[in-house]
Amino acid sequence: AQKITQTQPGMFVQEKEAVTLDCTYDTSDQSYGLFWYKQPSSGEMIFLIYQGSYDEQNATEGRYSLNFQKARKSANLVISASQLGDSAMYFCAMGLFGNEKLTFGTGTRLTIIP
Amino acid sequence: EAQVTQNPRYLITVTGKKLTVTCSQNMNHEYMSWYRQDPGLGLRQIYYSMNVEVTDKGDVPEGYKVSRKEKRNFPLILESPSPNQTSLYFCASSFSRGQETQYFGPGTRLLVL
C-alpha cells in the first residue's frame, strides 16, 4: 500500500523567505507520480507541481520547485520568496501509473508572516 | 473554461434523508473520482470511475453510492446520511491515471445533523 507522510503540521515563515515543505512516500512500485496541491482558506484544491518517478530533473513551476530524492523517497516542495498569498494548507500526493487513486498526506498548514 | 463543477457547495441535512451531490466536468476526461477531506486525515478516496458505466470502490466507500451514465457527470449519492459523513467532499477528474494531475471541483461542505 502507498503512504504519504507530511511531518510538519504547521509552519510559520517570514515573508520573502524560502520555505521547504517536507514529504516522504512509501511504495514498492517503480512507476508513480508525485503531486503538490495548495488549499487556501476558501477550500479549493489548486494543483502546483508534478514529478514523475522517471523524471531525471526536479520539476519547477515558477516559484515552486520539487526537490525529488528518489533513493530517500522524498519529494519536498520548495517555495522561493514566499508571499502572504502563500498562506494555505499544502498537500503532497502520490499516484501510481495505471492506478486510479491519489494517496494524500495529512497536509502542512503554512502561514506567512509579514 | 475548463472546469469541474459541484452542486450544492454547502448542504445541511438530517440523518437518514437521502441526498445527491452532483459533479460535472467539461474536459472530456475519462477518469473521475470522489474524495472526502477530514481534519488530520487529508483526502481519502470514496469511489472512482474509469469511464462510463465503470466504477469501483476507493478507501472509504461505506455509506456512499455513485453512478456514471454519462462521461461528464459523476454524482455522489448518500442513501441514508449519518453524522460521521459530515465532511468536505471533492470531485476530481483527469485524462489518465496516476501520472497526470487531477482537476478538482470547488468542494461541497456537508453537515449531517
Q: Which residue has the higher pLDDT, B99 or A66?
A: A66
Does the beta-carbon distance from A106 to B40 stay under 8 Å?
A: yes
Most confident of A19-23, A95-99, B47-51: A19-23
Nearest of A94, A85, A89, A104 to residue A39 by alpha carbon: A89
Q: Decide if B48 contacts A99 (C-beta within 8 A).
A: no
Q: Decide if A41 contacts A24 (C-beta within 8 A).
A: no
Residues B74, B72, B28: CA angle, nearest 5 degrees = 135
- Spatial separation of the C-alpha atoms in residues B110 and B107, rounded to whole Å: 10
Whether the predicted pLDDT of A28 surpasses 60: yes
Which residue reads 516542495 in cell numbers? A77
DSSP code of residue B62: T
Is the CB of residue B38 less than 8 Å away from at least one CB of chain A? no
pLDDT band at B98 (very low <50, low <70, confident <90, very high): low
DSSP string, A65-92: EEEEETTTTEEEEEESS--GGG-EEEEE
User: Which pLDDT tens digit goes with each residue over A37-75?
Assistant: 999 999 999 999 999 999 889 999 999 999 999 999 999
Is the CB of residue B106 less than 8 Å away from at least one CB of chain A? yes
pLDDT band at B68 (very low <50, low <70, confident <90, very high): very high
Classify residue B70 by burial, with Cβ atoms within 10 Å: 0-12, 13-18, 19+. exposed
What integer pLDDT is reported at residue B97 of this predicted model? 57
Greatest distance between any 2 Cα atoms in chain B: 39
What integer pLDDT is reported at residue B65 of this predicted model? 97
What are the strands, taking DSSP E only, across chain A? 3-5, 10-14, 19-21, 24-26, 32-39, 46-52, 60-61, 64-69, 74-79, 88-96, 102-104, 108-113
The C-alpha cell at A23 is: 514529504
Mutate to test the interface with A, among B10, B30, B43 (most CBs of A within 10 A): B43
CA A80 to chain centre: 14
pLDDT band at B96 (very low <50, low <70, confident <90, very high): low
From chain A, the residues in CB contact with B35 under 8 A are 102, 104
